Amino acid sequence: MTITRIGNFEVHRVSEYEGPFIEPHVFFPDYDPAVLKANPDMAGPRLVDPATGKLVFSFHSFVVKTGRHTILIDSCIGNDKPRPTRPQFHQIKSPFLADLAAVGVKPEEVDFVMCTHLHWDHVGWNTRLTNGQWVPTFPNARYIMARREFEHWQAFQKRGEESPHARAFEDSVLPVVASGQSVLVNDDYAFEDGLWFEPAPGHTPGNVVIHARSGENRAVFLGDVIHHQFQLMQPAWSTLACTDRELSKKTRTRLIEEYAESGMRLLPGHFPAPTAGKIVRKGDAFRYAFE
Ligand SMILES: [Zn+2]
């Protein structure tokens, strides 16, 4: 089991799914196969599944043990969730809670759940199905969410469209509001334990990255600013799932440049194991160097 240490913080990655997810031309509306042809080192099975041609994705949470608190960053897909337009993940039964227990965390021990954004694959385990009701999975946790993000999806859900995000808002966000466990914060919220949000809008309006600092050691939980390593050979590629593709491109390009320059340690939301690494320059573009 991989443990990443950020100073005194102990970070565990708990994966709910890792494998083929979606075709590149579907996920990236501007996808151009010529770019991949010009970058043959990006064609390996870790990036694209050879059998299906689909991009390989991991869906995982990070558990951060700060010494004072146990914090869950993003909460994956969740069990039993109706996601009819994402049949691969419709009403799944994953061993996520057993995997969480394997890194020494029982649901009642989680103090805070922090969501980088409120998409269906980042809020799922906020709740679980008990006696036909969606109830908070983590009974003693406060669920920290950016107010801007919450208000966007609240309005979206009220429009009544069939969408996994609207469904997730209903079954995975509203129940933690009803239980009084949600805390809506500014998108530059600073947390007492050396964790803070930085606004990273575009993928969603209130999307954030989460900084962690313990002593001299730093890292950034990147959420969905970059979904897949293909975006390092072409930072302009926003995704099907981005609310504002132009702003998403701007934020992504700016942060990729910044992290390549600073050598910041990164923990992206969908990169396969071992996930942690750094962005490095390669010619006019970039690559990812896993730790
Ligand atoms: Zn995601």
Q: Residue 235 CB: number of other CB atoms within 10 A?
A: 19
Residue 76 confidence (pLDDT)? 97
Q: Residue 19 CB: number of other CB atoms within 10 A?
A: 13
Please tell me the distance between residue 291's alpha carbon and the centre of ligand 1 in angstroms.
22
Please tell me the distance between residue 200's alpha carbon and the centre of ligand 1 in angstroms.
14
Residue 3 confidence (pLDDT)? 79
Residue 1 confidence (pLDDT)? 52
Per-residue tokens: 257: 């440049």
Please tell me the distance between residue 168's alpha carbon and the centre of ligand 1 in angstroms.
13
Per-residue pLDDT of the chain (291 residues; tens, 9 = 90+): 567 899 999 999 999 999 999 999 999 999 999 999 999 999 999 999 999 999 999 999 999 999 999 999 999 999 999 999 999 999 999 999 999 999 999 999 999 999 999 999 999 999 999 999 999 999 999 999 999 999 999 999 999 999 999 999 999 999 999 999 999 999 999 988 899 999 999 999 999 999 999 999 999 999 999 999 999 999 999 999 999 999 999 999 999 999 999 999 999 999 999 999 999 999 999 999 999
Please tell me the distance between residue 275's alpha carbon and the centre of ligand 1 in angstroms.
14
Q: Which CATH architecture has domain 3-290?
A: 4-Layer Sandwich (3.60)
Rounded to two decimals, what is the model's pTM?
0.97
Residue 76 and residue 18 in contact, taking contact as beta carbons nearer than 8 Å:
no
Distance CA 245, CA 252 (A): 10
Please tell me the distance between residue 241's alpha carbon and the centre of ligand 1 in angstroms.
9
Residues 6+ apart with CB under 8 A from 158: none
Please tell me the distance between residue 103's alpha carbon and the centre of ligand 1 in angstroms.
22
Sequence ranges of the domains in the chain: 3-290
Per DSSP, the residues of 9-63 read EEEEEEEEEEEEEE-HHHH-TT--HHHHHT-GGG-STTTB-TTT-PEEEEEEEEE
Closest CA to 268 of 243, 286, 283: 286
Please tell me the distance between residue 242's alpha carbon and the centre of ligand 1 in angstroms.
10
- Each as own residue / partner, the long-range contacts of residues 152-155 (CB below 8 Å, 24 or more positions apart, any chain) are 152/118, 152/204, 152/205, 152/206, 152/243, 153/118, 153/204
pLDDT tens digits for 223-252? 999 999 999 999 999 999 999 999 999 999
